[in-house]
A and B are shown apart, each in its own frame.
Chain A
Amino acid sequence: MATANIKDVKRRIKSVENTMQITKAMELVATSKLRGAKERAVASQPYFNTLYETMCEIQQDRGFKSIYTKKEFLKTVLVVVLAGDRGLAGGFNHNILKLAEDKINSLEKDGRTVKVFPIGKKAVEYFEKRNYEIYNKDYQISDNLTMSKSLSLSESIISGFRNGIYDKVELIYTTFVSTLVQNALSVTVLPIESRDLKDIKQDEKTDAEKSQKTSLTLYEPSAEEVFDGLIPKYISGLIFCSIIDSYASEQAARRTAMESASDNASEMIDSLSLLYNRARQAQITQELNEIVAGQMGNN
Protein backbone atom coordinates (compact mmCIF):
# COMPACT_ATOMS: atom_id res chain seq x y z
CA MET A 1 0.00 0.00 0.00
CA ALA A 2 2.78 2.37 0.96
CA THR A 3 4.49 2.19 -2.42
CA ALA A 4 1.34 3.04 -4.37
CA ASN A 5 0.62 5.94 -2.07
CA ILE A 6 4.07 7.39 -2.57
CA LYS A 7 3.70 7.34 -6.32
CA ASP A 8 0.27 8.93 -6.11
CA VAL A 9 1.40 11.74 -3.88
CA LYS A 10 4.42 12.36 -6.07
CA ARG A 11 2.23 12.66 -9.12
CA ARG A 12 -0.10 15.05 -7.39
CA ILE A 13 2.75 17.26 -6.24
CA LYS A 14 3.99 17.39 -9.81
CA SER A 15 0.60 18.38 -11.16
CA VAL A 16 0.06 21.07 -8.56
CA GLU A 17 3.51 22.41 -9.36
CA ASN A 18 2.60 22.66 -13.02
CA THR A 19 -0.62 24.49 -12.22
CA MET A 20 1.27 26.83 -9.98
CA GLN A 21 3.69 27.65 -12.76
CA ILE A 22 0.77 28.66 -14.96
CA THR A 23 -0.96 30.75 -12.33
CA LYS A 24 2.32 32.44 -11.45
CA ALA A 25 2.92 33.31 -15.08
CA MET A 26 -0.62 34.62 -15.51
CA GLU A 27 -0.21 36.73 -12.41
CA LEU A 28 2.94 38.31 -13.82
CA VAL A 29 1.36 38.93 -17.20
CA ALA A 30 -1.69 40.51 -15.58
CA THR A 31 0.53 42.71 -13.44
CA SER A 32 2.37 44.12 -16.41
CA LYS A 33 -0.82 44.57 -18.43
CA LEU A 34 -2.39 46.33 -15.48
CA ARG A 35 0.48 48.76 -15.39
CA GLY A 36 0.00 49.53 -19.07
CA ALA A 37 -3.73 49.98 -18.65
CA LYS A 38 -3.22 52.37 -15.76
CA GLU A 39 -0.84 54.45 -17.83
CA ARG A 40 -3.36 54.66 -20.65
CA ALA A 41 -6.08 55.66 -18.22
CA VAL A 42 -3.95 58.49 -16.89
CA ALA A 43 -3.01 59.60 -20.41
CA SER A 44 -6.64 59.85 -21.49
CA GLN A 45 -7.63 62.09 -18.59
CA PRO A 46 -6.60 65.53 -19.95
CA TYR A 47 -8.55 65.04 -23.19
CA PHE A 48 -11.68 63.96 -21.46
CA ASN A 49 -11.53 66.64 -18.79
CA THR A 50 -11.11 69.46 -21.29
CA LEU A 51 -14.00 68.15 -23.36
CA TYR A 52 -16.16 67.94 -20.31
CA GLU A 53 -15.28 71.43 -19.15
CA THR A 54 -16.00 72.92 -22.56
CA MET A 55 -19.37 71.22 -22.63
CA CYS A 56 -20.20 72.53 -19.20
CA GLU A 57 -19.20 76.02 -20.24
CA ILE A 58 -21.41 76.01 -23.29
CA GLN A 59 -24.23 74.58 -21.29
CA GLN A 60 -23.92 77.29 -18.67
CA ASP A 61 -23.56 79.92 -21.27
CA ARG A 62 -26.44 79.27 -23.59
CA GLY A 63 -28.28 76.34 -22.23
CA PHE A 64 -28.64 73.79 -24.92
CA LYS A 65 -31.03 71.67 -26.75
CA SER A 66 -29.98 69.03 -29.13
CA ILE A 67 -31.08 65.68 -30.39
CA TYR A 68 -28.76 64.13 -27.86
CA THR A 69 -30.69 65.59 -24.96
CA LYS A 70 -34.23 64.79 -26.04
CA LYS A 71 -36.41 63.27 -23.40
CA GLU A 72 -39.15 61.52 -25.20
CA PHE A 73 -40.91 58.41 -24.18
CA LEU A 74 -38.26 55.77 -23.98
CA LYS A 75 -39.18 52.60 -25.76
CA THR A 76 -36.04 50.88 -26.78
CA VAL A 77 -32.91 50.76 -24.72
CA LEU A 78 -29.51 49.70 -25.89
CA VAL A 79 -27.48 48.07 -23.16
CA VAL A 80 -23.76 48.07 -23.84
CA VAL A 81 -21.97 45.49 -21.75
CA LEU A 82 -18.20 45.56 -21.40
CA ALA A 83 -16.74 42.27 -20.25
CA GLY A 84 -13.51 40.40 -20.80
CA ASP A 85 -12.39 37.94 -23.45
CA ARG A 86 -11.07 35.34 -21.11
CA GLY A 87 -12.05 33.77 -17.86
CA LEU A 88 -9.86 33.06 -14.85
CA ALA A 89 -10.30 36.57 -13.59
CA GLY A 90 -12.07 35.88 -10.34
CA GLY A 91 -15.54 37.36 -10.22
CA PHE A 92 -14.88 39.91 -12.94
CA ASN A 93 -17.02 38.51 -15.74
CA HIS A 94 -19.62 37.06 -13.43
CA ASN A 95 -20.23 40.34 -11.62
CA ILE A 96 -20.60 42.39 -14.76
CA LEU A 97 -22.87 39.91 -16.50
CA LYS A 98 -24.99 39.53 -13.41
CA LEU A 99 -25.46 43.27 -13.14
CA ALA A 100 -26.26 43.48 -16.84
CA GLU A 101 -28.87 40.77 -16.59
CA ASP A 102 -30.51 42.39 -13.57
CA LYS A 103 -30.60 45.69 -15.38
CA ILE A 104 -32.09 44.17 -18.51
CA ASN A 105 -34.72 42.35 -16.51
CA SER A 106 -35.76 45.47 -14.67
CA LEU A 107 -35.93 47.42 -17.94
CA GLU A 108 -38.06 44.72 -19.51
CA LYS A 109 -40.35 44.76 -16.53
CA ASP A 110 -40.93 48.43 -17.20
CA GLY A 111 -42.08 47.57 -20.69
CA ARG A 112 -38.98 48.59 -22.60
CA THR A 113 -37.52 46.70 -25.45
CA VAL A 114 -33.92 45.89 -24.78
CA LYS A 115 -31.16 45.37 -27.28
CA VAL A 116 -27.81 44.16 -26.07
CA PHE A 117 -24.48 45.30 -27.42
CA PRO A 118 -21.95 42.92 -25.92
CA ILE A 119 -18.27 43.77 -26.07
CA GLY A 120 -15.77 41.07 -25.24
CA LYS A 121 -15.99 37.37 -25.96
CA LYS A 122 -17.45 36.42 -22.61
CA ALA A 123 -20.29 38.89 -22.95
CA VAL A 124 -21.08 37.81 -26.53
CA GLU A 125 -21.19 34.15 -25.53
CA TYR A 126 -23.30 34.83 -22.49
CA PHE A 127 -26.02 36.83 -24.21
CA GLU A 128 -26.10 34.66 -27.30
CA LYS A 129 -26.68 31.58 -25.20
CA ARG A 130 -29.56 33.22 -23.39
CA ASN A 131 -31.22 34.42 -26.59
CA TYR A 132 -31.16 38.11 -25.95
CA GLU A 133 -31.66 40.40 -28.88
CA ILE A 134 -28.17 41.31 -29.91
CA TYR A 135 -27.69 44.60 -31.66
CA ASN A 136 -24.16 44.20 -32.84
CA LYS A 137 -21.49 41.65 -32.12
CA ASP A 138 -18.65 43.00 -34.19
CA TYR A 139 -16.63 43.79 -31.13
CA GLN A 140 -15.94 40.38 -29.76
CA ILE A 141 -12.46 41.17 -28.66
CA SER A 142 -12.23 43.76 -25.96
CA ASP A 143 -8.54 43.12 -25.45
CA ASN A 144 -6.41 46.01 -26.66
CA LEU A 145 -9.20 48.05 -28.17
CA THR A 146 -7.30 50.87 -29.79
CA MET A 147 -8.51 54.43 -30.02
CA SER A 148 -9.54 54.09 -33.65
CA LYS A 149 -11.53 50.94 -32.88
CA SER A 150 -13.31 52.44 -29.92
CA LEU A 151 -14.00 55.51 -32.03
CA SER A 152 -15.80 53.48 -34.64
CA LEU A 153 -17.52 51.59 -31.85
CA SER A 154 -18.91 54.75 -30.35
CA GLU A 155 -19.75 56.12 -33.78
CA SER A 156 -21.92 53.09 -34.40
CA ILE A 157 -23.63 53.57 -31.05
CA ILE A 158 -24.27 57.23 -31.81
CA SER A 159 -25.50 56.63 -35.34
CA GLY A 160 -28.02 54.06 -34.06
CA PHE A 161 -29.27 56.63 -31.59
CA ARG A 162 -29.56 59.30 -34.26
CA ASN A 163 -31.42 56.93 -36.54
CA GLY A 164 -33.88 56.20 -33.79
CA ILE A 165 -33.15 52.49 -33.51
CA TYR A 166 -33.06 53.00 -29.76
CA ASP A 167 -33.56 56.08 -27.65
CA LYS A 168 -31.53 55.38 -24.60
CA VAL A 169 -28.07 53.93 -24.16
CA GLU A 170 -26.91 52.33 -20.94
CA LEU A 171 -23.30 51.39 -20.47
CA ILE A 172 -22.42 48.66 -18.03
CA TYR A 173 -18.79 48.29 -17.16
CA THR A 174 -16.39 47.67 -14.32
CA THR A 175 -14.62 50.58 -12.78
CA PHE A 176 -11.18 50.27 -11.30
CA VAL A 177 -11.12 51.44 -7.71
CA SER A 178 -7.92 49.81 -6.58
CA THR A 179 -5.95 46.69 -7.31
CA LEU A 180 -8.17 44.82 -4.89
CA VAL A 181 -11.53 46.49 -5.51
CA GLN A 182 -13.35 46.75 -8.81
CA ASN A 183 -16.99 47.74 -9.01
CA ALA A 184 -19.47 46.86 -11.70
CA LEU A 185 -21.69 49.81 -12.48
CA SER A 186 -24.14 51.13 -15.01
CA VAL A 187 -24.26 54.65 -16.47
CA THR A 188 -26.60 56.35 -18.90
CA VAL A 189 -24.67 57.51 -21.94
CA LEU A 190 -27.50 58.85 -24.06
CA PRO A 191 -29.57 60.96 -23.92
CA ILE A 192 -27.31 63.36 -22.10
CA GLU A 193 -28.90 64.87 -19.07
CA SER A 194 -28.15 68.45 -18.32
CA ARG A 195 -27.72 67.70 -14.68
CA ASP A 196 -24.81 65.44 -15.59
CA LEU A 197 -23.02 68.49 -16.79
CA LYS A 198 -23.83 71.18 -14.31
CA ASP A 199 -22.37 69.75 -11.16
CA ILE A 200 -18.74 70.03 -11.96
CA LYS A 201 -18.20 73.76 -12.06
CA GLN A 202 -20.71 74.96 -9.55
CA ASP A 203 -18.37 74.93 -6.60
CA GLU A 204 -15.38 76.26 -8.47
CA LYS A 205 -16.68 79.62 -9.55
CA THR A 206 -19.04 82.22 -8.28
CA ASP A 207 -21.99 83.17 -10.42
CA ALA A 208 -20.52 86.52 -11.35
CA GLU A 209 -17.34 84.93 -12.59
CA LYS A 210 -19.30 82.41 -14.54
CA SER A 211 -21.52 84.81 -16.40
CA GLN A 212 -18.58 87.03 -17.17
CA LYS A 213 -16.46 84.28 -18.53
CA THR A 214 -19.07 82.69 -20.72
CA SER A 215 -20.68 85.68 -22.31
CA LEU A 216 -17.42 86.76 -23.90
CA THR A 217 -16.67 83.55 -25.67
CA LEU A 218 -17.19 83.45 -29.38
CA TYR A 219 -18.58 80.25 -30.82
CA GLU A 220 -18.19 79.48 -34.45
CA PRO A 221 -20.39 78.79 -36.34
CA SER A 222 -22.75 78.77 -33.34
CA ALA A 223 -22.90 77.46 -29.82
CA GLU A 224 -25.45 74.85 -30.84
CA GLU A 225 -23.33 73.49 -33.63
CA VAL A 226 -20.23 73.40 -31.53
CA PHE A 227 -22.22 71.59 -28.90
CA ASP A 228 -23.64 69.09 -31.35
CA GLY A 229 -20.17 68.45 -32.66
CA LEU A 230 -18.86 67.96 -29.14
CA ILE A 231 -21.31 65.36 -28.02
CA PRO A 232 -20.14 62.49 -30.22
CA LYS A 233 -16.61 63.20 -29.06
CA TYR A 234 -17.70 63.32 -25.48
CA ILE A 235 -19.40 59.98 -25.87
CA SER A 236 -16.45 58.41 -27.66
CA GLY A 237 -14.30 59.72 -24.86
CA LEU A 238 -16.62 58.29 -22.26
CA ILE A 239 -16.66 54.92 -23.96
CA PHE A 240 -12.92 54.93 -24.53
CA CYS A 241 -12.32 55.71 -20.87
CA SER A 242 -14.65 52.98 -19.70
CA ILE A 243 -13.00 50.47 -22.00
CA ILE A 244 -9.65 51.29 -20.46
CA ASP A 245 -11.22 51.23 -17.02
CA SER A 246 -12.81 47.88 -17.59
CA TYR A 247 -9.60 46.48 -19.03
CA ALA A 248 -7.63 47.62 -16.00
CA SER A 249 -10.24 46.06 -13.74
CA GLU A 250 -10.05 42.78 -15.60
CA GLN A 251 -6.30 42.63 -15.24
CA ALA A 252 -6.48 43.57 -11.58
CA ALA A 253 -9.13 40.94 -10.92
CA ARG A 254 -7.08 38.34 -12.74
CA ARG A 255 -3.96 39.28 -10.87
CA THR A 256 -5.68 38.91 -7.51
CA ALA A 257 -7.30 35.64 -8.50
CA MET A 258 -4.03 34.22 -9.77
CA GLU A 259 -2.17 35.40 -6.71
CA SER A 260 -4.49 33.51 -4.40
CA ALA A 261 -4.41 30.50 -6.74
CA SER A 262 -0.62 30.47 -6.52
CA ASP A 263 -0.80 30.78 -2.75
CA ASN A 264 -3.23 27.90 -2.55
CA ALA A 265 -1.04 25.81 -4.79
CA SER A 266 2.03 26.35 -2.66
CA GLU A 267 0.04 25.49 0.45
CA MET A 268 -1.14 22.33 -1.21
CA ILE A 269 2.40 21.42 -2.21
CA ASP A 270 3.50 21.86 1.39
CA SER A 271 0.87 19.55 2.79
CA LEU A 272 1.42 17.02 0.01
CA SER A 273 5.17 17.05 0.67
CA LEU A 274 4.46 16.31 4.30
CA LEU A 275 2.27 13.41 3.26
CA TYR A 276 4.93 12.18 0.88
CA ASN A 277 7.68 12.30 3.52
CA ARG A 278 5.48 10.48 5.97
CA ALA A 279 4.74 7.76 3.48
CA ARG A 280 8.39 7.45 2.63
CA GLN A 281 9.31 7.24 6.30
CA ALA A 282 6.66 4.59 6.85
CA GLN A 283 8.03 2.57 3.96
CA ILE A 284 11.57 2.71 5.29
CA THR A 285 10.42 1.75 8.75
CA GLN A 286 8.52 -1.16 7.37
CA GLU A 287 11.50 -2.36 5.33
CA LEU A 288 13.71 -2.15 8.41
CA ASN A 289 11.15 -4.10 10.37
CA GLU A 290 11.15 -6.77 7.73
CA ILE A 291 14.94 -7.02 7.67
CA VAL A 292 15.15 -7.17 11.45
CA ALA A 293 12.37 -9.72 11.59
CA GLY A 294 14.16 -11.82 8.97
CA GLN A 295 17.45 -11.67 10.88
CA MET A 296 15.74 -12.68 14.07
CA GLY A 297 14.13 -15.63 12.32
CA ASN A 298 17.55 -16.77 11.05
CA ASN A 299 19.02 -16.65 14.51
Chain B
Amino acid sequence: MSINEKIPNVATKPDEAPMTKQAAALAVEAKREDIAVEEGKTVGLPYSDNPKFKLRNVEVFYGEERAIKNISLDIARNEVISFIGPSGCGKSTFLRCLNRMNDSIDICQVKGQLLLDDVDIYHSKRDVVELRARIGMVFQKPNPFPKSIYDNVAYGPRIHGLANRKSDLDEIVENSLRKAGLWNEVKDRLDATATGMSGGQQQRLCIARAIAVSPEVILMDEPCSALDPIATAKVEELIAEMSESYTIVIVTHSMQQAARVSHRTAYFHLGHLVEVNETDKVFTSPEHELTESYITGRFG
Protein backbone atom coordinates (compact mmCIF):
# COMPACT_ATOMS: atom_id res chain seq x y z
CA MET B 1 0.00 0.00 0.00
CA SER B 2 2.91 2.30 0.59
CA ILE B 3 3.32 2.53 -3.15
CA ASN B 4 0.15 4.59 -3.37
CA GLU B 5 1.37 7.14 -0.95
CA LYS B 6 4.66 7.60 -2.66
CA ILE B 7 3.47 7.84 -6.22
CA PRO B 8 -0.10 9.07 -6.15
CA ASN B 9 -2.20 8.44 -9.20
CA VAL B 10 0.46 8.56 -11.82
CA ALA B 11 -1.84 7.38 -14.52
CA THR B 12 -4.90 9.46 -13.71
CA LYS B 13 -6.01 11.86 -16.34
CA PRO B 14 -7.71 15.05 -15.20
CA ASP B 15 -11.03 14.23 -16.87
CA GLU B 16 -11.29 10.80 -15.29
CA ALA B 17 -13.02 10.14 -12.03
CA PRO B 18 -10.52 9.84 -9.18
CA MET B 19 -9.10 6.36 -9.12
CA THR B 20 -9.48 4.09 -6.19
CA LYS B 21 -6.29 3.38 -4.32
CA GLN B 22 -6.20 -0.13 -5.67
CA ALA B 23 -6.62 0.93 -9.23
CA ALA B 24 -3.89 3.47 -8.76
CA ALA B 25 -1.61 0.83 -7.37
CA LEU B 26 -2.38 -1.40 -10.32
CA ALA B 27 -1.66 1.44 -12.64
CA VAL B 28 1.67 1.98 -10.96
CA GLU B 29 2.45 -1.71 -11.24
CA ALA B 30 1.47 -1.67 -14.86
CA LYS B 31 3.76 1.26 -15.44
CA ARG B 32 6.64 -0.65 -13.85
CA GLU B 33 5.90 -3.62 -16.02
CA ASP B 34 6.17 -1.30 -18.96
CA ILE B 35 9.69 -0.28 -18.06
CA ALA B 36 11.53 -2.09 -20.73
CA VAL B 37 14.39 -4.36 -19.89
CA GLU B 38 16.03 -5.04 -23.15
CA GLU B 39 17.59 -8.46 -23.04
CA GLY B 40 21.36 -8.45 -23.00
CA LYS B 41 21.50 -4.69 -22.72
CA THR B 42 23.00 -3.29 -19.56
CA VAL B 43 23.21 0.42 -18.91
CA GLY B 44 26.17 1.98 -17.15
CA LEU B 45 29.70 0.58 -17.09
CA PRO B 46 29.58 -3.21 -17.29
CA TYR B 47 33.02 -3.54 -18.85
CA SER B 48 36.50 -3.03 -17.53
CA ASP B 49 39.95 -2.57 -19.05
CA ASN B 50 41.58 -5.03 -16.71
CA PRO B 51 39.07 -7.77 -16.05
CA LYS B 52 39.59 -10.64 -13.64
CA PHE B 53 36.39 -12.19 -14.84
CA LYS B 54 35.23 -11.69 -18.38
CA LEU B 55 31.67 -12.91 -18.66
CA ARG B 56 29.89 -12.77 -22.00
CA ASN B 57 26.34 -13.75 -22.89
CA VAL B 58 25.94 -15.90 -19.82
CA GLU B 59 22.71 -17.84 -19.58
CA VAL B 60 21.69 -20.24 -16.84
CA PHE B 61 18.89 -22.74 -17.18
CA TYR B 62 17.14 -24.63 -14.41
CA GLY B 63 15.58 -27.35 -16.49
CA GLU B 64 13.37 -25.41 -18.89
CA GLU B 65 13.45 -22.20 -16.91
CA ARG B 66 15.92 -19.53 -17.92
CA ALA B 67 17.19 -18.06 -14.67
CA ILE B 68 19.92 -15.85 -16.13
CA LYS B 69 19.22 -14.11 -19.40
CA ASN B 70 22.15 -13.16 -21.56
CA ILE B 71 24.32 -11.29 -19.11
CA SER B 72 27.65 -9.74 -20.04
CA LEU B 73 29.86 -8.27 -17.38
CA ASP B 74 33.48 -7.68 -16.50
CA ILE B 75 34.69 -7.90 -12.95
CA ALA B 76 37.85 -5.89 -12.54
CA ARG B 77 40.94 -6.95 -10.63
CA ASN B 78 40.86 -6.02 -6.93
CA GLU B 79 37.49 -4.43 -7.11
CA VAL B 80 34.57 -5.01 -4.81
CA ILE B 81 31.46 -5.45 -6.88
CA SER B 82 28.09 -6.05 -5.33
CA PHE B 83 25.08 -7.71 -6.89
CA ILE B 84 21.75 -6.37 -5.72
CA GLY B 85 18.20 -7.00 -6.78
CA PRO B 86 14.90 -8.37 -5.57
CA SER B 87 14.60 -12.00 -4.45
CA GLY B 88 14.74 -14.45 -7.29
CA CYS B 89 16.43 -12.02 -9.64
CA GLY B 90 19.25 -14.47 -10.25
CA LYS B 91 22.06 -12.68 -8.48
CA SER B 92 22.97 -15.69 -6.30
CA THR B 93 22.68 -18.04 -9.25
CA PHE B 94 24.99 -15.82 -11.25
CA LEU B 95 27.46 -15.66 -8.37
CA ARG B 96 27.50 -19.42 -8.09
CA CYS B 97 28.38 -19.74 -11.75
CA LEU B 98 31.68 -18.06 -11.03
CA ASN B 99 33.08 -20.99 -9.04
CA ARG B 100 30.80 -23.63 -10.53
CA MET B 101 28.89 -24.22 -7.33
CA ASN B 102 25.91 -24.92 -9.57
CA ASP B 103 27.62 -28.07 -10.82
CA SER B 104 26.11 -30.18 -8.07
CA ILE B 105 22.61 -29.28 -9.22
CA ASP B 106 21.81 -31.77 -11.95
CA ILE B 107 19.23 -29.71 -13.81
CA CYS B 108 21.32 -26.57 -13.85
CA GLN B 109 22.97 -25.68 -17.12
CA VAL B 110 25.31 -22.78 -17.78
CA LYS B 111 25.85 -21.33 -21.26
CA GLY B 112 27.98 -18.51 -22.55
CA GLN B 113 31.56 -17.50 -22.11
CA LEU B 114 32.92 -17.26 -18.58
CA LEU B 115 36.61 -16.45 -18.42
CA LEU B 116 38.79 -16.19 -15.37
CA ASP B 117 42.03 -14.51 -16.42
CA ASP B 118 41.08 -15.32 -20.01
CA VAL B 119 40.71 -19.04 -19.29
CA ASP B 120 37.34 -20.69 -19.61
CA ILE B 121 35.84 -21.60 -16.25
CA TYR B 122 33.48 -24.15 -17.76
CA HIS B 123 35.96 -25.87 -20.03
CA SER B 124 35.43 -29.61 -19.84
CA LYS B 125 39.07 -30.18 -18.91
CA ARG B 126 39.01 -27.50 -16.27
CA ASP B 127 39.42 -28.96 -12.79
CA VAL B 128 36.77 -27.64 -10.50
CA VAL B 129 38.86 -28.30 -7.39
CA GLU B 130 41.67 -26.11 -8.71
CA LEU B 131 39.13 -23.46 -9.68
CA ARG B 132 37.64 -23.35 -6.21
CA ALA B 133 41.05 -23.12 -4.64
CA ARG B 134 41.46 -19.91 -6.61
CA ILE B 135 37.96 -18.65 -5.95
CA GLY B 136 37.00 -18.73 -2.29
CA MET B 137 33.42 -18.56 -1.18
CA VAL B 138 31.63 -17.31 1.92
CA PHE B 139 28.05 -18.27 2.45
CA GLN B 140 24.89 -16.73 3.77
CA LYS B 141 24.84 -18.67 6.99
CA PRO B 142 28.10 -18.95 8.86
CA ASN B 143 29.00 -22.59 8.26
CA PRO B 144 32.15 -23.50 10.14
CA PHE B 145 32.96 -27.19 10.29
CA PRO B 146 32.13 -28.72 13.66
CA LYS B 147 35.84 -28.93 14.40
CA SER B 148 38.31 -26.78 16.22
CA ILE B 149 39.00 -23.22 15.10
CA TYR B 150 42.47 -24.26 14.01
CA ASP B 151 41.23 -27.20 11.97
CA ASN B 152 38.66 -25.04 10.26
CA VAL B 153 41.28 -22.67 8.93
CA ALA B 154 43.82 -25.42 8.30
CA TYR B 155 41.40 -27.56 6.33
CA GLY B 156 41.88 -25.87 2.97
CA PRO B 157 45.69 -25.76 3.11
CA ARG B 158 45.67 -29.39 4.22
CA ILE B 159 43.58 -30.79 1.40
CA HIS B 160 45.47 -28.76 -1.17
CA GLY B 161 48.81 -29.69 0.37
CA LEU B 162 49.85 -26.05 0.80
CA ALA B 163 51.88 -26.69 3.93
CA ASN B 164 54.38 -29.47 4.35
CA ARG B 165 55.34 -28.82 7.92
CA LYS B 166 53.32 -28.08 11.01
CA SER B 167 55.08 -24.76 11.44
CA ASP B 168 54.07 -23.68 7.92
CA LEU B 169 50.49 -24.61 8.65
CA ASP B 170 50.58 -22.71 11.94
CA GLU B 171 51.80 -19.69 10.07
CA ILE B 172 49.07 -19.91 7.45
CA VAL B 173 46.44 -20.28 10.16
CA GLU B 174 47.74 -17.31 12.10
CA ASN B 175 48.01 -15.10 9.02
CA SER B 176 44.53 -15.98 7.86
CA LEU B 177 43.03 -15.32 11.26
CA ARG B 178 44.92 -12.05 11.47
CA LYS B 179 43.65 -10.96 8.08
CA ALA B 180 40.15 -11.84 9.19
CA GLY B 181 40.63 -9.71 12.28
CA LEU B 182 40.01 -12.69 14.48
CA TRP B 183 43.45 -13.56 15.75
CA ASN B 184 43.32 -11.55 18.95
CA GLU B 185 39.93 -12.95 19.84
CA VAL B 186 40.80 -16.61 19.34
CA LYS B 187 44.55 -17.02 19.68
CA ASP B 188 44.19 -18.52 23.15
CA ARG B 189 41.54 -21.00 22.18
CA LEU B 190 42.48 -22.34 18.78
CA ASP B 191 41.51 -25.81 19.95
CA ALA B 192 38.04 -24.73 20.99
CA THR B 193 35.26 -25.88 18.72
CA ALA B 194 34.23 -23.32 16.15
CA THR B 195 30.53 -23.83 16.67
CA GLY B 196 30.83 -22.28 20.11
CA MET B 197 31.73 -18.88 18.66
CA SER B 198 29.30 -16.04 18.08
CA GLY B 199 27.67 -15.69 14.69
CA GLY B 200 29.85 -12.80 13.65
CA GLN B 201 33.00 -14.59 14.73
CA GLN B 202 31.88 -17.70 12.87
CA GLN B 203 31.41 -15.72 9.70
CA ARG B 204 34.82 -14.11 10.03
CA LEU B 205 36.22 -17.59 10.67
CA CYS B 206 34.62 -18.69 7.41
CA ILE B 207 36.33 -15.77 5.69
CA ALA B 208 39.63 -16.76 7.32
CA ARG B 209 39.05 -20.30 6.11
CA ALA B 210 38.45 -19.01 2.60
CA ILE B 211 41.57 -16.84 2.52
CA ALA B 212 43.74 -19.57 4.03
CA VAL B 213 44.09 -21.14 0.57
CA SER B 214 45.15 -17.71 -0.79
CA PRO B 215 42.44 -17.37 -3.37
CA GLU B 216 42.44 -14.60 -5.96
CA VAL B 217 38.73 -14.02 -5.77
CA ILE B 218 36.30 -14.22 -2.87
CA LEU B 219 32.63 -14.72 -3.58
CA MET B 220 30.26 -13.76 -0.81
CA ASP B 221 26.66 -14.83 -0.88
CA GLU B 222 24.80 -12.51 1.48
CA PRO B 223 27.54 -12.84 4.08
CA CYS B 224 25.85 -10.68 6.68
CA SER B 225 22.22 -11.65 6.41
CA ALA B 226 22.41 -13.79 9.55
CA LEU B 227 24.46 -11.33 11.57
CA ASP B 228 23.65 -8.50 13.93
CA PRO B 229 24.57 -4.93 12.96
CA ILE B 230 27.85 -4.81 14.88
CA ALA B 231 29.02 -8.13 13.47
CA THR B 232 27.90 -6.92 10.06
CA ALA B 233 29.95 -3.74 10.44
CA LYS B 234 32.99 -5.82 11.35
CA VAL B 235 32.61 -8.07 8.33
CA GLU B 236 32.12 -5.03 6.10
CA GLU B 237 35.24 -3.45 7.49
CA LEU B 238 37.04 -6.69 6.77
CA ILE B 239 35.79 -6.59 3.19
CA ALA B 240 37.08 -3.05 2.83
CA GLU B 241 40.50 -4.15 4.07
CA MET B 242 40.57 -7.24 1.88
CA SER B 243 39.68 -5.31 -1.25
CA GLU B 244 43.34 -4.31 -1.50
CA SER B 245 44.48 -7.84 -2.21
CA TYR B 246 41.43 -9.70 -3.51
CA THR B 247 38.73 -9.37 -6.07
CA ILE B 248 35.50 -9.54 -4.14
CA VAL B 249 32.05 -10.26 -5.48
CA ILE B 250 29.30 -9.85 -2.96
CA VAL B 251 25.61 -10.63 -3.26
CA THR B 252 23.56 -8.71 -0.78
CA HIS B 253 19.97 -8.04 0.08
CA SER B 254 20.98 -4.91 1.88
CA MET B 255 21.33 -2.05 -0.55
CA GLN B 256 23.00 -0.05 2.20
CA GLN B 257 25.62 -2.74 2.46
CA ALA B 258 26.26 -2.56 -1.24
CA ALA B 259 26.57 1.20 -0.90
CA ARG B 260 29.00 0.87 1.98
CA VAL B 261 31.39 -1.77 0.73
CA SER B 262 31.48 -1.89 -3.03
CA HIS B 263 33.17 0.04 -5.77
CA ARG B 264 30.68 -0.97 -8.38
CA THR B 265 27.11 -2.13 -8.00
CA ALA B 266 25.22 -4.37 -10.40
CA TYR B 267 21.45 -4.40 -10.35
CA PHE B 268 19.72 -7.63 -11.38
CA HIS B 269 16.08 -7.88 -12.32
CA LEU B 270 14.28 -11.10 -13.30
CA GLY B 271 17.46 -12.65 -14.61
CA HIS B 272 18.53 -9.52 -16.48
CA LEU B 273 21.50 -7.40 -15.59
CA VAL B 274 19.84 -4.01 -15.75
CA GLU B 275 22.54 -1.64 -14.64
CA VAL B 276 26.14 -1.66 -13.57
CA ASN B 277 27.71 1.53 -12.35
CA GLU B 278 30.00 3.09 -9.82
CA THR B 279 28.33 2.54 -6.48
CA ASP B 280 28.22 6.26 -5.76
CA LYS B 281 26.49 6.84 -9.04
CA VAL B 282 23.98 4.03 -8.51
CA PHE B 283 22.97 5.32 -5.12
CA THR B 284 22.77 8.98 -6.02
CA SER B 285 21.54 9.02 -9.58
CA PRO B 286 20.98 5.60 -11.12
CA GLU B 287 20.61 5.58 -14.87
CA HIS B 288 17.88 3.01 -15.18
CA GLU B 289 14.32 3.57 -14.02
CA LEU B 290 14.13 0.08 -12.48
CA THR B 291 17.30 0.56 -10.48
CA GLU B 292 15.95 3.80 -9.14
CA SER B 293 12.63 2.20 -8.17
CA TYR B 294 14.38 -0.67 -6.44
CA ILE B 295 16.95 1.24 -4.46
CA THR B 296 14.41 3.82 -3.36
CA GLY B 297 12.22 1.07 -1.98
CA ARG B 298 9.39 1.34 -4.46
CA PHE B 299 9.29 -2.38 -5.16
CA GLY B 300 11.31 -5.48 -4.61
Q: Do A and B come from one complex?
A: no
